[in-house]
Amino acid sequence: MQKSSIEFPPGPSSHIPGKMVRSIVKDPINTLSKIAEEYGELSHFKLGRMHVYLINNPDYIEKILIYDYSNFSKGPRLQIAKRLLGEGLVTSEGEFHKSQRKLIQPLFLPKKISSYGAIMTDRALRMIQGWKNGSVVNIHSELMKVTLSIICKSVMDYEMESKQAKDFGNEFEITKKYSSRLQHPLGQILDRVPFLPKVAQSRNAGKTLNTIVYGLISERRKEIESRAKDKSPPGEDLLSKLIIVQADDGSTMTDTQLRDEIITILIAGHETTSNALTWTYYLLSQNPQIERRVFEEIDQVLGGNGEDNKQPSISDLPKLKYVEKVLRESMRLYPPVWTMGRFAINDYPLGGYTIPKGSSLMFSQYVMHHNEKYYDNPETFDPDRWTEEFKMHLPRFSYFPFGGGIRGCVGESFAWQEGILLIATISSYWSMRLVPNQRVKLQPGITLNPKNGIKMKLKSRRKSS
């Protein structure tokens, strides 16, 4: 970079080496929030030798993600995530990304994913049937397990109750946690020492995951061939659909491509939803009047009074309008994916400045979703703000929990469907209260987790529970 000829936007600076790096590593959300508050819609700072531009203007974000996306590559977090995800839809770039998305996106249209509704409610019922009135659960842990069970069944027709599936779940968690560790600079350094216990454990877990996934792909290919001979349609699981889907030239995905997409969908399709639901139940536990309105709507839609509600289904989704507002507002306050990044491939004009090629651009859903320019009382949990008129006048990228543009989340419809159905199912049976004297703390990794989970005391809404 030609430092002498570059005019930078305003931003924090320090003569103390590594100060900004330490601040970002220690408390990234608070650090970015303060920078945006003090320096406005476009600011600049350095992380080591890297020039970083924090974008806090929805029009700028739309320009980068929609209109000029070809001038940017994935940010550093997703470059690191390739260790686990390979060249899946979240991490791939360029023409390969376009071709994969063209194949996969039609499989996630609302009409296509509606067939998974019964799986979602069934797995939620299995989870809550094990709960006891007055008992304490780590709701984050519970929701992580149930959303993994849902995505495994939907994607791979895989029952998590089997021993192989439990092994898969254990190795999956080890690999995910290690992937989060790699987001830290020290974790990347330690990763170069293969005999360290956590490094070795992660690599062994990755091998086990690959063995299981490739085995499932092989089994499913044979099953599809057998069905074709009998003139029977392939299975409804997503893996079967991915195996048979064809590109314009008639080609199908290789096993490696299938593996990368399956692992990507499993992670993106369960951790984000479980986080969104965890924060939703945390907020409801702190706002009993809003919780009461959720119960009232669910009881009305499901035809009961909390005692004899029917099981929710896809046909109930349009009627659960307040539940949808609650989930939408929860993802405003606690967006599951809280930040995104891009690298500038070429010099890029923005806001009266020129961002040099090689620079890193950041935009934070968390920071934007708490911007008082777009949200009155932004720290307040207020589902009623989400009127149709409010949504109509809200700039597109002032609310973007699922990203946007050509690289936006392909599973957004799946996530909305799953989130609303799980709230309707769980809250038909249970109310939750935060266990006192626990510290609920944000843990911003790739997704926005609650550090150490959240413990809830269960109160049954049904006499038989």
d(CA 458, CA 24): 37
50-55 and 360-363 strand pairing: parallel
The model's pLDDT over 27-69, given as tens digits with 9 standing for 90+, comes to 999 999 999 999 999 999 998 888 999 999 999 999 999 999 9
- Tokens 């998974």 locate to 116
Dihedral sign computed on CA atoms, order 164, 415, 114, 131: positive
Query: Where is 418: in which H helix or E strand?
Result: helix 412-429
What does the pLDDT read at residue 55?
Answer: 97
The model's pLDDT over 85-122, given as tens digits with 9 standing for 90+, comes to 677 777 777 778 788 888 888 888 888 889 899 999 99
What does the pLDDT read at residue 186?
Answer: 54
Sequence-distant (6+) residues with CB within 8 A of 327 are: 276, 277, 280, 416, 419, 420, 423
What does the pLDDT read at residue 1?
Answer: 44
What does the pLDDT read at residue 122?
Answer: 95
Range scoring the smallest mean pLDDT among 52-61, 66-75, 125-134, 341-350: 66-75
Neighbours of 303 (CB within 10 A): 10
Sequence-distant (6+) residues with CB within 8 A of 298 are: 309, 312, 320, 323, 423, 424, 427, 428
- Predicted confidence (pLDDT) at residue 16 exceeds the cutoff of 90: no
Dihedral sign computed on CA atoms, order 100, 204, 266, 454: negative
- Predicted confidence (pLDDT) at residue 158 exceeds the cutoff of 80: no
Query: Of all residues in the chain, what percent carry a pLDDT higher than 90?
Result: 51
Report the range out of 131-135, 144-148, 300-304 with the highest average pLDDT: 131-135
Question: Is residue 296 within 8 Å of 281, Cβ to Cβ?
Answer: no
- Predicted confidence (pLDDT) at residue 465 exceeds the cutoff of 60: no
| Overall fold of domain 87-157+235-337+405-465 | Cytochrome p450 (1.10.630)
What does the pLDDT read at residue 62?
Answer: 95
Tell me whether the CATH fold assigned to 1-84+342-400 matches the one assigned to 87-157+235-337+405-465.
yes
What is the number of residues in the chain? 465
Instruction: Indicate the pLDDT class of residue 20, thresholds 50, 70 and 90.
Output: confident
Average pLDDT, whole number, for the chain? Answer: 86
354 residue type, one letter = T
Q: What is the CA radius of gyration of the chain?
A: 23
CA angle in degrees (0–180, nearest 5) for 149-153-158:
95
Q: Which two tokens stand for residue 90?
A: 């979240």
E strand residue ranges, 80-211: 136-138
d(CA 387, CA 393): 10
User: Which sequence spans correspond to the domains of the chain?
Assistant: 1-84+342-400, 87-157+235-337+405-465
Instruction: Indicate the pLDDT class of residue 306, thresholds 50, 70 and 90.
Output: low
- Predicted confidence (pLDDT) at residue 286 exceeds the cutoff of 60: yes
Q: What global pTM score does this model have?
A: 0.89
d(CA 237, CA 154): 5
Q: Which two tokens stand for residue 448?
A: 């926005």
3 state SS for 33-79: HHHHHHHCCEEEEEECCEEEEEECCHHHHHHHHHHCHHHEEECHHHH
If one looks up domain 1-84+342-400 in CATH, what number appears? Answer: 1.10.630.10
The mean pLDDT of 401-424, rounded to a whole number, is: 89
Neighbours of 378 (CB within 10 A): 15
Question: Is residue 393 within 8 Å of 376, Cβ to Cβ?
Answer: no
386-413 exposure pattern, b = at least 16 Cβ within 10 A, e = fewer: beeeeeeeeeebbbbbbbbbebebbbeb
